[in-house]
Structure 1
Amino acid sequence: MSELTKKLETLSQRRKTKEAILELPADIRSSITLENIVYIDQIRESHELALFPKYGKETMEAPQGYSKYIYRDCDTLKDLVALINSEFVPFSKSILVQSTRNSAYWELPLDCQQQFFEHYIDVLKNNFWGLLVFQSDFAQGLVIDNYCGYLPEDRATNNDEVVYEYVFWQK
Structure 2
Amino acid sequence: MITKAISDQFSIRFATPNDIPIILQLIKELAEYENLLHMVVADEKLLDEWLFQKKVAEVIIGEMNNTVVGFSLFFYNFSTFLGKPGIYIEDVYVKKEYRHQGYGKSFFRFIAQLARERGCGRMEWSVLDWNEPAIQFYQSLGANPLNEWTVYRLTGEGIQSLAEVK
TM-score, normalized by length of structure 1?
A: 0.30
Query: Which structure has more RCO (C-alpha within 8 Å, separation ≥ 6)?
Result: 1
TM-score (norm: length of structure 2): 0.31
